[in-house]
Structure 1
Amino acid sequence: MWRVSLILLVLVLGCKQNKRYHDEQAVNELIANAGEWADVVRFQQNLNATFRDPETSPLPDRFRKDFEGLDFFAPDSTYQVKAKFTRTPEALPFLMPTNTGDKTEEVVYAKISFELNGKEHELEVYQNTELIQQANYKDYLFLPFSDLTNGEETYEGGRYLDLSIPEGDTILLDFNKAYNPYCAYNAKYSCPLVPKQNRLDTHIRAGVKAFNK
């Protein structure tokens, strides 16, 4: 009997490994065929992979088991914006509130200004005082924002962008890589709230859409 069980186990593991190989192959082909959008498609596929993995997914099991992929806007170059990057070295740390009532200590690292959809906009980008102590996050910048799609096409609480400190005084904002905070999927997560100064008076139809449970 144990031999039969062992054979079945080997077959199951073999099928899983084979499926994983074919899934990875399909993703690689998708990225290879994406042309100028390869970087955006890679971002989307990596995000989907995170959501499928039970070790990293924010989704409750009842949603994750049937998860096929997040819903994204089609990539659009309109939302790839070159912005002026003005550092704010005199800024002092402050406490940014979260949806759970906790607070995170942040510093306004810079202000960014740009034109989009015929309007001028200015946003703040932040550094977390704890994260910057880690080598992997030394150059990491956090951009929470909201826009006029929130509550309809996108998550009502706004979305996030991950950025890196640029060398000069400009930075590329690619809103095609905007993603939802984890609290959009699971109430157990504590997520920084978008500051009022980062509310955009325009529609950002790019990046991740609202999650339909």
Structure 2
Amino acid sequence: MKFNRWFLILFVIVATLIYFSLPKQTKIPAKTTEDSLKTVESRLTKDEKLKTDEESPITDRANFKGLSYFPYSPNWVIPFEVERNEKVERVGLQMTDGTSDTLLVFGKAHGEIAGVHVDLILYQHDTGDFFIPFKDKTAPTETYGGGRYLELPLTNLKDNQLILDFNQAYFPFCAYNKSFACPIPPKENQLTIRIPAGEKNP
């Protein structure tokens, strides 16, 4: 018994030394971490463009310090089922200057946000990419009163499912400069819930 006890102690010591001598493995960041870093990087890139681009809607670019955002959260990356229209049609969407712009209607996106069923009209640019103008209950106190936009590549649609990342929601140019005309979210895309994600008021 005495031999066995000392043998066990020696085994534990040797095993401990081997464990600590092994090279440390690099921890692979979770996808949510990668997405968060990508979001931060894209926001910084946008800030730089708004500050330096001659066509920027920012009137005082010299004193522009960057846009304001809600913190990134994976909870606002939500899968939606897409119901395609039998026939893609063009409709007029009212603009902030009183005119209208013609956009393609692809169909509707159905999903659940904060436990509430949501239907959103899904528009398309002439390039085929998706455009979703929407307004939620954060407007106008927390976000632009005229609503916000989401844009997604057509290639993101897979098996009639589309992932909407509301962390990417952004203000139209008319939020910064009234000389720009922007589409107004239709009544169907004006939501009765708060979506505290994406761009917000300063």
Bin of the TM-score, shorter chain as denominator length: 0.7 to 0.9
- Higher mean alpha-carbon deviation, 117-126 vs 48-57, is at 48-57
Cα separation, 2, equivalents of 1:150 and 1:177: 16
Equivalent positions of 1:106-125 (< 5 A) are 106-125=103-122
User: 1:45 Cα shift?
Assistant: 1.5
Query: Do the aligned partners of 1:50 and 1:56 also contact (CA within 8 Å) in 2?
Result: no
Query: Do the aligned partners of 1:144 and 1:161 also contact (CA within 8 Å) in 2?
Result: yes
Query: What is residue 180 of structure 2 aligned with on the other side?
Result: 189
Query: Do the aligned partners of 2:136 and 2:194 also contact (CA within 8 Å) in 1?
Result: yes
Equivalent positions of 1:36-47 (< 5 A) are 36-47=35-46
Cα separation, 1, equivalents of 2:102 and 2:41: 31
Cα separation, 1, equivalents of 2:194 and 2:169: 13
- The alignment's TM-score, normalised by the length of structure 1, stands at 0.75
* Counterpart code for 1:156: G
Secondary structure (helix, strand or coil) at the match of 2:89 reads coil
User: 1:41 Cα shift?
Assistant: 1.4
Query: What is residue 208 of structure 1 aligned with on the other side?
Result: 199
Identity, in percent, stands at 32
User: Quick one: structure 1 residues 36 and 127, their matched pair in 2 at CA, closer, same or farther if it must change by over 3 Å?
Assistant: closer
Query: What is residue 105 of structure 1 aligned with on the other side?
Result: 102
The structure richer in strand per residue is 2
- The alignment's TM-score, normalised by the length of structure 2, stands at 0.79
Cα separation, 2, equivalents of 1:183 and 1:116: 27
Query: Do the aligned partners of 2:89 and 2:106 also contact (CA within 8 Å) in 1?
Result: no
User: 1:40 Cα shift?
Assistant: 1.2
Larger radius of gyration: 2
Considering only aligned residues, what root-mean-square deviation do their CA atoms show, in Å?
1.4
User: 1:140 Cα shift?
Assistant: 1.1
Query: What is residue 136 of structure 2 aligned with on the other side?
Result: 147
Query: What is residue 77 of structure 1 aligned with on the other side?
Result: 74
Query: What is residue 27 of structure 2 aligned with on the other side?
Result: none
Query: What is residue 170 of structure 1 aligned with on the other side?
Result: 161
Secondary structure (helix, strand or coil) at the match of 1:58 reads coil
Secondary structure (helix, strand or coil) at the match of 2:58 reads coil
User: 1:116 Cα shift?
Assistant: 1.0
Query: What is residue 190 of structure 2 aligned with on the other side?
Result: 199
Cα separation, 1, equivalents of 2:80 and 2:49: 29
Q: What do residues 154-194 of structure 1 show as CA deviations (whole Å, max 9, x unaligned)?
A: 00010000112213210110000000000000000010011
Q: What do residues 94-116 of structure 1 show as CA deviations (whole Å, max 9, x unaligned)?
A: 11110011211112112101111
* Counterpart code for 2:109: I
Query: What is residue 83 of structure 2 aligned with on the other side?
Result: 86
Runs of 5+ unmatched residues, structure 2? 1-32
- Higher mean alpha-carbon deviation, 183-192 vs 41-50, is at 41-50
Cα separation, 2, equivalents of 1:161 and 1:177: 7
Secondary structure (helix, strand or coil) at the match of 1:78 reads helix
Establish whether residue 126 from structure 1 lines up as the match of residue 115 from structure 2.
Answer: no
* Counterpart code for 1:161: L
